[in-house]
Chains A and B, each alone.
Chain A
Amino acid sequence: MGFGRLALATLGILVLSVFVGRYPRPYWMPISYLWKDELALRLVLYLRLPRILTAFLMGMALSAAGVAMQTVFRNPLVSPGFLGISQGAAFGAAFSIVFLSPSAIVVESSAAVFALAALGVSYLLASKIRYGDWVLRLVLAGIVSAALFSSGVGVLKYLADPLRQLPEIVFWLMGGLWSVSWRDLLSILPPVTLGLVILYLMRWRLNLLGLSDATAFSLGASPARERGVALVASVVATAAVIAVGGVVGWVGLIVPHVARRIVGADAQRVLPASMLIGGAFALLCDNLARVLLAGEIPLGIVTSLIGALVFIVMFARADLGVRR
């Protein structure tokens, strides 16, 4: 399957998603409603469209970051949640709900700030650890940073008001886009675009970061600096989408593998393919999340369920390129 077909399929999913929902009846809205029913038109314009685009953007960002991080860490099982980013964002959101304000803008800003803080902690720890090479040190530091922030989330859950705050924290942790507005979309558009454009421009050079440091250096690359650029671009993009949509797992882990199956391993092709597939995957999951039941299913649950199933199938059928 080439890029043309991939792009066409993605576009099709984007367009069809507009008509998927629970109004006027479950699952499907006939096109004619757009001009016959003013409520339907407003629903599409003010609720569905921003949500669809945000879901797509979220999938793109998580998947592109997944490709970058799997390459930078030379590890196929790494995802954007690495380096404590997801846990940092979760802590930021919970902190805001308990101590600051449950309003969307405060929760989202706090999540983004703490996601970056978690990255900072990982980076600082990695520069202090005296064991292994830089990649291993970052991995170890990421585990520590994630543990720190997730224990922080535990403390906040314990402190939270069980009737008002706790459900909100739990729902945020499960991830979802039910409250997304145009304002949310516009607020995450600049950081996500910035991160994605940087990664897209670096897409061939990303491959060099998968080589041993000495080889990358001998090819004229500055491995530490270029890794830093790729990581920061990834984190900026993912922190923004996590801030709006909560912790949505598995997208960044699974999509790059699916993309490699389709277009080969070269990051030059995997990165754009992952953006398309990731956007479509997140959108499909979000469609399921909003139409399957009368109530909203948290998006994180849908992506984890489907992601895990895809993972099992891929594992059962062939390797993930982990072999040496």
Chain B
Amino acid sequence: MSENIVISVRGVRFSYNGPGHPVLSDLALDIPEAAVTAILGPNGSGKTTLLLMLLGMLAPQEGTILIRGRRPQEHSRGEMSRTLGLVPQREHFPLGFSVLEYVLLGRAPHLGLLDRPGPGDMRAATEAVARVGLAGLVDRLVPTLSGGERQLATVARALAQRPDIILMDEPTSHLDLGNRERVLKVVRALVEERVTVALTTHNPSDAAAVADHIVLMREGQVVASGRAADVLTSENLSVTYGLPVEVIRVRGSLVVLTPDSLTRT
């Protein structure tokens, strides 16, 4: 696995309402190329804010964010949208759209202001739908999809952008077990194709299942970061979540136990 750093964050501080309540303070982390980095932490630890800053939608009040060596604001908007794709936590699907129509919107970064998608864009969108395994559902209306299929459609839309970095905000948080598996499998497949994925999650098991690297966050600061096996320790997770957590290894996978599950075993 290569260790090229594509995104680096140094000394970042950000607050929505006044300097007294920073959402992120003195944040530093690296996101390596062609790997899955999970930004793991409890709700309200500043994960989504961080993603919006990587996207360039918010600018840090202190510190620097570098995407391939340059600040997001130094890239043109078009360049950024061809580099970074976003899978938001809750997508708004335009009224009455089919899967293909929705995925086609991912071609916007490759089109001018008054352009409309052509056959090449149609091919790219169809291919993206196939990559996430929804080829049979291209003409289905989005509201008729299952939660997992919708999430995969969102991933396909981001893929149609042809970015080399994809940011995902809690991609599995409201999915059942089967759909969660489908989404995580697609995430792993992306890395095989040398896409860099940075995803946020509040669930240590998801991070353990999919991530090569983990950044543990609590209250806007990094608790620990590094290779998944090194970071996911009982001590680190206990500090992050503020309750006793035990990590055990079962058939090669990490399993995270909390006080409730401990008392029942």
Which residues of A come within 8 Å of B, CB atoms? 70-71, 74, 76, 201-205, 207-208, 210-212, 214-215, 217-222, 260, 264-268, 321, 323-324
With A and B bound together, what is the CA distance between A74 and B158 in angstroms? 20
Residue pair B96, A218 in contact (C-beta under 8 Å): no
The answer to the question of B143 belonging to the interface, with a C-beta cut-off of 8 Å to chain A, is yes
When each residue 146-163 of chain B gets 1 if its CB lies under 8 Å from chain A and 0 otherwise, what string results?
000000000001100100
Contact A220 B86 (CB under 8 A): no
CA distance A209 to B13 in the complex (A): 30
Residue B57, interface by CB 8 Å = yes
- Give complex CA distance A111, B158 in Å: 45
The reply to whether A76 and B95 contact each other, CB–CB distance below 8 Å, is yes
Segment of B103-111, B203-211, B257-265 engaged in the interface with chain A: B103-111
- Report whether B91 and A215 are in contact in the complex, using a CB–CB cutoff of 8 Å: yes
Interface size on B, as a range, is 35 or more
Stretch at the interface among B61-69, B73-81, B174-182: B73-81
A220 touches B78 (CB 8 A): yes
Query: Contact: B92 with A218, CB < 8 Å?
Result: no
Closest to A75 in B: B95
Q: Is B19 an interface residue (CB 8 A)?
A: no
Q: B57 contacts A217, CB within 8 Å?
A: yes
Q: List 29 A-B contacts (CB under 8 A).
A: A203-B116, A204-B115, A207-B94, A207-B105, A208-B105, A208-B108, A210-B92, A210-B93, A211-B92, A211-B105, A212-B90, A215-B86, A215-B88, A215-B91, A218-B85, A218-B86, A218-B158, A218-B167, A219-B106, A219-B109, A220-B77, A220-B80, A220-B108, A264-B101, A266-B97, A266-B101, A268-B116, A321-B96, A323-B143
Q: How far is the CA of A210 from the CA of B102 in the complex (A)?
A: 10
| B38-60, CB < 8 A from A | 52, 55-57
Q: Is B113 an interface residue (CB 8 A)?
A: yes
Answer yes or no: B250 CB below 8 A from chain A CBs.
no
Q: Is the CB of B96 within 8 A of A265?
A: yes
Leading 10 A-B pairs by shortest Cβ distance: A265-B96, A210-B94, A220-B81, A218-B86, A321-B96, A219-B108, A204-B116, A212-B92, A321-B95, A220-B109
Determine if A74 and B109 form an interchain contact, defined as CB atoms under 8 angstroms apart: no
A245 to B196, CA, bound (A): 57
- Contact check, A201 vs B86: say whether CB atoms are below 8 A apart: no
Using Cβ atoms and an 8 Å threshold, which residues of chain B touch A70? Answer: 95
The answer to whether A201 touches B114 (Cβ under 8 A) is yes
Most buried by A among B91, B108, B113, B116: B108
Residues of B within 8 A of A324 (CB): 143
CB-CB nearest in chain A for B163:
A218
Are the CB atoms of B101 and A218 closer together than 8 Å?
no
**A203-B116, A268-B116, A321-B96 given. 15 additional CB < 8 A pairs?**
A207-B97, A207-B105, A208-B108, A210-B93, A211-B93, A212-B91, A215-B86, A217-B57, A218-B81, A219-B108, A219-B109, A264-B98, A265-B96, A265-B97, A323-B143
Q: Which residues of A contact B161 (CB under 8 A)?
A: 218-219
B84 CB within 8 Å of chain A: yes
Q: How far is the CB of A269 from chain B (nearest CB, A)?
A: 10
Residues of B near any A CB (own CB < 8 A): 52, 55-57, 77-78, 80-81, 84-86, 88, 90-98, 101, 105-106, 108-109, 111, 113-117, 143, 157-158, 161, 167
Whether the Cβ atoms of B96 and A214 lie closer than 8 Å is no
A205 & B57 in contact (Cβ 8 Å cutoff): no
The residue of chain B having its C-beta at the shortest distance from the C-beta of A267 within the complex is B94
Check if B108 sits within 8 Å of A221, measured CB to CB.
yes
In angstroms, Cα B109 to Cα A76, docked, is: 27
Q: Which of chain B's residues has its CB closest to A214's CB? A: B88
Q: Which B residues touch A215, using CB under 8 A?
A: 86, 88, 91-92, 157
Chain A nearest CB: distance from B114 CB in Å? Answer: 5
- Residue in chain B with minimal CB distance to A261: B96
**Chain A residues with CB below 8 A from B93, complex form:** 210-211
Considering the chains assembled together, what is the distance between the CA atoms of A324 and B94 in angstroms?
11
Q: Pick the contact of B96: A204, A212, A222, A260 (CB < 8 A).
A: A260
The residues of A that contact B157 with a CB separation of less than 8 Å are: 215
Bound-complex Cα distance A189 to B45 (A): 55
CB distance from B152 to the nearest CB of A (A): 15
Do A204 and B55 touch across chains, with their CB atoms under 8 A apart?
Answer: no
Q: B residues within 8 A CB of A211?
A: 91-94, 105
C-alpha gap A71/B98 in the complex (Å): 15
CB neighbours of B88 from chain A (8 A): 212, 214-215
Q: In the complex, A214→B167 CA distance in Å? A: 11
Residue pair B106, A217 in contact (C-beta under 8 Å)? no
Nearest A-chain residue to B97, judged by Cβ: A265
Q: Shortest distance in angstroms between B90's beta carbon and chain A's nearest beta carbon?
A: 7
Q: Which residue of A lies closest to B56 (CB)?
A: A217
Cα A232 to Cα B143 in complex, Å, equals: 30
Distance in angstroms from A268 CB to nearest chain B CB is: 6
- Residues in A neighbouring B86, C-beta threshold 8 A: 214-215, 217-218
Q: Which of A203, A212, A218, A265 interacts with B55 by CB under 8 Å?
A: A218
| Residues of chain B lying within 8 A (CB to CB) of residue A321 | 95-96, 143
Closest residue of B by beta carbon distance from A256: B95
| Residues in chain B near residue A268, CB distance under 8 A | 116
